[in-house]
């Protein structure tokens, strides 16, 4: 993956966080009243998390670390190498698992869970994003 590709993924995350913050302002009733809100949040979360994982893979390759076999391993490898704080590993891994759930078990995601993620857990995406940027800035040329 080229550095320009990483910048594109960074741009996706920034744009997606802005979109999610506008959807976050809706009440639960307003949120569920229009299927487009639900579909939008699912897609935006999926692409945001995937972009984070892609950046994580890029970092792993550039640092010469063991290549992951799964998305969840991206977080573990970066944590084991000391690049991601151990206390963040569980929430970042859960994020990766939620992305898989959106992709593969999309018909088993209830709107209450989705709304809770939208309103209470976007800081995890922001935090993961900031951690990855810090690794790039300090360890990759």
**How far apart are alpha carbons 93 and 72 in whole angstroms?**
5
Model confidence at 100: pLDDT above 90: no
DSSP summary character for residue 22:
H
Structural domain of 38:
3-139
**How far apart are alpha carbons 82 and 128 in whole angstroms?**
14
Mean pLDDT computed over 73-91:
95
pLDDT for position 138: 92
Report field, pTM of the whole predicted structure over 0.75: yes
Give the pLDDT confidence of 47-77 residue by residue, as tens digits: 999 999 999 999 999 999 999 999 999 999 9
pLDDT for position 1: 62
**Residue for token pair 């993961």:** 128
3-state secondary structure of 141: coil
Give the pLDDT confidence of 4-47 residue by residue, as tens digits: 788 899 999 999 999 999 999 999 999 999 999 999 999 999 99
Structure token pair of residue 123: 């800081």
* Count of CB atoms situated within 10 Å of the CB of 61: 12
CATH (domain of 67):
1.20.120.580
pLDDT for position 2: 73
Question: Total structural domains in the chain?
Answer: 1
């Amino acid at each position: 993956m080229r550095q320009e590709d990483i910048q594109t993924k960074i741009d996706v995350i920034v744009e997606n966080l802005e979109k999610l913050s506008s959807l976050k302002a809706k009440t639960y009733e307003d949120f569920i009243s229009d299927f487009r809100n639900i579909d939008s949040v699912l897609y935006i979360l999926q692409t945001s998390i995937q972009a984070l994982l892609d950046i994580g893979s890029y970092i792993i390759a550039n640092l010469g670390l063991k290549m992951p076999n799964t998305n969840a391993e991206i977080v573990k490898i970066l944590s084991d190498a000391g690049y991601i704080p151990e206390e963040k590993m569980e929430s970042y891994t859960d994020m990766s698992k939620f992305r898989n759930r959106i992709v593969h078990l999309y018909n088993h995601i209830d709107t209450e869970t989705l709304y809770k993620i939208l309103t209470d857990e976007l800081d995890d995406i922001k935090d993961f994003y900031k951690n990855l940027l810090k690794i790039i800035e300090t360890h990759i040329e």
